[in-house]
Amino acid sequence: MGEKITVATQWLESCAGCHMSFLDIDERIVELLKYVELSSSPITDMKHPPEEGVVVGILTGGIGNEDEAHEAKLMRERCKILIAMGDCAVTGGICTMRNFFDKEDVLRRGYIETERTVDGEIPVHEELTPLTDQVSGVGDVVPVDIYLPGCPPSADAIWYVLTELLAGRMPKLEGNVLKYGSDGG
Amino acid sequence: MSEVRLTINGQPTVAQSGQTILEAAQAAGIDIPVLCHHPALSSWGACRMCVVEVKGMRGLQTACTCPVADGMEVQTETESAVAVRKFVLQLLFSERNHYCMFCQMSGDCELQDAAYRYGLDHFTYPRPYQKLNVDASRKYFIMDHNRCILCTRCVRACSEIAANHTLDLRARGADSMIMADLDVPFGESSCVECGTCLQVCPTGALIDARSAYGGREKDVVHTETTCMQCSVGCTLDVVTRYNRLLRVDGVWGSEPNDGLLCVDGRFTPLYEERKRLTSPMVRKDGKLVETGWDEALAAVAAKLKEGGAEGLATCATTNEALGAFAGLLAKAKGEVGLLEPVAPALGYGVTARLSDILDADFIVVAGAQPLDYQRVVGYFIHRAADKGATVAVIADSENSMSKRAAMTVSYAEADKVAKAAAAAKKIVLVYSVGIKGKVIAAFRQLGDRLFALALSPGRNEKGATALGLKPIEPNGAKTQFFLMGEQSEDQGLLAKLNGAYTVVQASYVSALVEKADVVLPAPVWYERTGHVTDYSGTVKPVAEVLPKPATVRDDAEVLAALAAML
């Protein structure tokens, strides 16, 4: 293989478990880095995909605020193949629990009404991005090329998707690599 | 029935007329996905997962309802069938909350399995995020409407298997909802908590409060054994993990209950609150103190050697223990018998099996309360009543069977029922110790059209009776040996104690245990090995599901050891 394939990752509204699962490919990461250049990710110095773009963009987490929507759009613009990785990116996941309530009720419950909160207030600051009305999956905001569900997807499923792409094939998710929730682990 | 020849996916298949395409395919080893279908229930054809193409028939057919016909050519995985299944799955996933990551059924869910099979990697339709009720008003299991796909398996299980008709659907279309009675909380409904609905639910909508999140199918151990909570002797599938009881399920197709259990078999034994006896105890200076087996057995053997002992057994143990008990007392030259009364033999008629209830056209319940004490029998009677059988209750006090009975009469009017039954083809007389001589006499004329189902209060009464044990009263012997198993003593027993030297072999602390001079701890139902005899006289195995506490010894083995010491 000649030039390395560039990959960027970003996590949105998520618990970081999907990135943990990515690192769970263990020593296979050494093999992977022979063929792949990890340009930006939450665990590298560069936090956003480079302007010149990458081949593969990976988003984990749902979209629950305007900043996350912006990050998703940025990744879509700068990558050729976009992977929505993990149940939150695929469906909104556990973050959609707040969709059963009004946004204002959720904020009041979280910042004011919690049993151990004293003199709570809903924070307002120019650097705090507004919540969207509902949490959604990445696919509701930008077109997604590959959905990889799981909470988190297993390291083997992540490895399978990346190696299939490196081999020039679109991964076909079935069997042990298609699992929802923690059914794969 | 005649043979029907058809092809499924090009494979020549022989089926029986009257079978469905689904049944024929299953027999031929061809897997058609289902969601609303369950082999123990009537076919419904609602979910459209099982759609197949049949050459010459317009549109797709539901394999679970479409009968086979000669020359039929069926294709189960055509492009259009698969497209419909995927579409149905997408609609199901879009309707309520089917987020697997916090569902206790994830890994064992039939909806999830179907979605895996058809490669659903994301949702294509918006979800409405309706906030539906989670009904936890029952003690043992919970209904989460958010997980429900409205397959109505629970509704059919409730009406067809438990014959209780608590569950139904309300409203139409997207507003449809499973409801109990006229939409009351489940805990306030007519639900009898048999748990059959829980056993057939394909998703996480019905949640067992105890075993939820306790282990997936791949993690658990299944052990088949016989229920020891009443004299029926239902087959149980006990589910455990890490030496912990998780859940009890019925076993479809098993004798005598065919998968149906009651609250006493499925749930209550897992919520036992009595204090367990785990060490032998001997009374010293007026107080019961824990001791080793050697000292306890030596004390009992010494007393038995003095002669004049009486053995009083409940039937709450295995045939082996009852046999060893009878053997021990015989060797000690003492009297032995049962603490519980036994339903008398009629002296006529055919011995009934539970299945006889289902094809009887007249059922008499006399001096028995199956809905309270042998509940599965009560549900079988309700099933027969649903099919049109006449149910008559003979009782002098209130009887819970009366609600669905065509007539309820007093013992004095037993003749009336006998007269009404005279026209029937097959009569089942379900009775217990409450039956009176007048009733027995009234039905004698029915001869072999009458099937007799005797239900005794003792759990393993048939095993005890087969060993020749009969009910006796405490006879004033100077040593009394009580074999109690898991049974707590009847209130009246304590009054009959005469200050004799008292040996109690039991699983739980009770007032009788507290009066004892020697206490021998016994195993509980899931720790036993041996056999019990079911209501029909069939000997069934009792399997050790979990190990006994190290200081508890099997009662049969202890009794044999005692006999060897005499």
- The pair of structure tokens assigned to B209 is 């409060």
pLDDT digits (tens, 9 = 90+) for B524-561: 999 999 999 999 999 999 999 999 999 999 999 999 99
Mutate which of B105, B129, B147 to disrupt the A interface (most A C-beta within 10 Å)? Answer: B129
Hey, are the CB atoms on A174 and B119 less than 8 Å from each other?
yes
CA-CA distance, B148 to B333, in Å (whole number)? Answer: 63
Domain total for chain B? 3
**pLDDT tens string B369-390:** 999 999 999 999 999 999 999 9
Tell me the pLDDT tens digit for each residue of B32-68: 999 999 999 999 999 999 999 999 999 999 999 999 9
- Is residue B420 included in any domain, yes or no? yes
Residue B265 has pLDDT above 60, yes or no: yes
Secondary structure letter of residue B227 according to DSSP = -
How far is CA B40 from its chain centroid?
A: 15
Cα–Cα distance between A108 and A123 in angstroms, integer?
Answer: 10
Residue B435 is assigned to a structural domain of this protein: yes
Cβ contact B245:B268 at 8 Å: no
Distance of residue A61 Cα from the nearest chain B Cα, in angstroms: 14
The answer to the question of residue B38 being in a domain is yes
Question: Counting beta carbons within 10 angstroms of the beta carbon of residue A163, is it exposed (0 to 12), middle (13 to 18) or buried (19 or more)?
Answer: middle
Q: Which residues of B362-390 are buried (b: 16+ CB within 10 A; e: fewer)?
A: bbbbbbbbbbebbbbbbbbbbbbbeeebb
- pLDDT the model gives residue B80: 97
Domain around B439: 350-454
My answer on whether B421 and B508 are in the same domain is: no
- What DSSP state is assigned to residue B487? P
Amino acid at B281: M
SS3 B450: strand
Please name the residue that has the structure tokens 């007389």. B429
- pLDDT value at position B138? 95
Rounded CA separation B358/B383 (Å): 7
- Give me the residue from A91, A96, A134 closest to B122, CB to CB: A91
CA atoms of B237 and B251, how far apart (whole Å): 6
Q: What is the pLDDT of residues A16-67, one digit of tens each?
A: 999 999 999 999 999 999 999 999 999 889 999 999 999 999 999 999 999 9
Residue A1 pLDDT: 47
Q: What is the pLDDT of residues B65-98, one digit of tens each?
A: 999 999 999 999 999 999 999 999 999 999 999 9
Comparing CB atoms, the residue among A93, A100, A183 nearest residue B131 is: A100
Question: Does residue B387 sit in helix, strand or coil?
Answer: coil
User: Complex ipTM, two decimals?
Assistant: 0.94
Whether A144 and chain B come into contact, CB under 8 Å, resolves to: yes
Q: Chain B residues with CB inside 8 Å of A96's CB?
A: 99, 127, 129
∠ CA B285-B288-B291, rounded to 5°: 105
Q: Is the pLDDT of residue B477 over 50?
A: yes
Q: Residue ranges per domain, chain A?
A: 5-96+131-170
Closest CA to B496 of B531, B528, B472: B472
3-state secondary structure of B545: coil
Residue B23 and residue B8 in contact, taking contact as beta carbons nearer than 8 Å: no
pLDDT tens sequence across B305-347: 998 899 999 999 999 999 999 999 999 999 999 999 999 999 9
The Cα–Cα gap between B527 and B269 comes to: 13
> Where residue B418 sits, what CATH number does that domain have?
3.40.228.10
Q: What is the mean pLDDT of residues B256-271?
A: 97
Q: For tokens 């008003």, name the residue.
A: B137
- Non-local (6+) Cβ contacts of B42 within 8 A are B156, B160
Mean pLDDT, all residues of chain B: 96
For B128-149, what is each residue's pLDDT tens digit? Answer: 899 999 999 999 999 999 999 9
pTM for this entry: 0.94
The DSSP code for B539 is: E
Whether B397 is covered by a domain: the verdict is yes
- Quick one: fold of A5-96+131-170? Rossmann fold (3.40.50)
- DSSP 8-state code for residue B78: -
**CATH number of the domain encompassing residue B62:** 3.10.20.740
Beta bridge partners of B309: B479
The CATH code of the domain that includes B554 is 3.40.50.740
* Beta-carbon contacts below 8 Å between A and B: 63
A16 to chain B nearest CA, in Å? 15
Query: Assign residue B160 a region: left if phi > 0, alpha if psi is -120 to 50, beta otherwise?
Result: alpha
* B8 plus B72 within the same structural domain: yes
Q: What is the pLDDT of residue B491?
A: 81
* Per-position b or e across A120-151, b if 16+ CB within 10 A of its CB: eeeeeeeeeeebbebbbbbbbbbebbbbbbbb
Quote the strand ranges of B116-176, DSSP E: 134-135, 141-144, 167-170
B20, amino acid identity: T
* B173 lies in some domain: no
Q: Tell me, what's the pLDDT at B489?
A: 86
Two tokens, residue B211: 């075993």
Q: For residues B513 and B377, state if they share a domain.
A: no
Average pLDDT over residues B400-426: 94
> With bands split at pLDDT 50, 70 and 90, how would you rate the model's confidence at A2?
low
Q: A110-115 long-range contacts, Cβ below 8 Å, gap at least 24?
A: none
- Using alpha carbons, select from A11, A10, A6, A52 the residue that is nearest to residue A32: A6
In contact, B457 and B316? CB cutoff 8 Å: no
d(CA B77, nearest CA chain A) in Å: 17
Judged against a pLDDT cut of 70, whether residue A185 lies above it is answered with no
Whether B8 is covered by a domain: the verdict is yes
B297 and B377 belong to one structural domain? no
**Is the pLDDT assigned to residue B365 strictly greater than 90?**
yes
d(CA B239, CA B175): 36
Sequence-ordered list of residues with C-beta below 8 angstroms from that of B245, at least 6 positions apart, any chain: B238, B239, B270, B526, B545, B546
pLDDT band (50, 70, 90) for residue B499: confident
Tokens of B447: 């001869």
B556 and B469 inside one domain: yes
Would B63 be classed as within a structural domain?
yes
Query: Is there a domain that residue B403 lies in?
Result: yes
Q: Are B300 and B283 in contact (CB under 8 A)?
A: no
Closest alpha carbon to B402 in B412, B418, B417, B415: B417
Residue B356 has pLDDT above 90, yes or no: yes
Q: Are residues B372 and B387 in the same domain?
A: yes
Which residues are CB-neighbours of B70 under 8 A, at least 6 positions away?
Answer: B4, B5, B6
- Half-sphere exposure of residue B551: CA atoms within 13 angstroms, side-chain side: 15
Interface of B with A (CB under 8 A): 99-103, 106-107, 112, 115-116, 119, 121-123, 127, 129-131
Which of B42, B77, B112 is a domain's end point? B77
Say which residue the tokens 């049944």 belong to.
Answer: B23
Mean pLDDT of B12-31: 97
- Whether B330 and B472 map to the same domain: the answer is yes
* Cβ-defined contact of A181 to B101 (cutoff 8 Å): yes
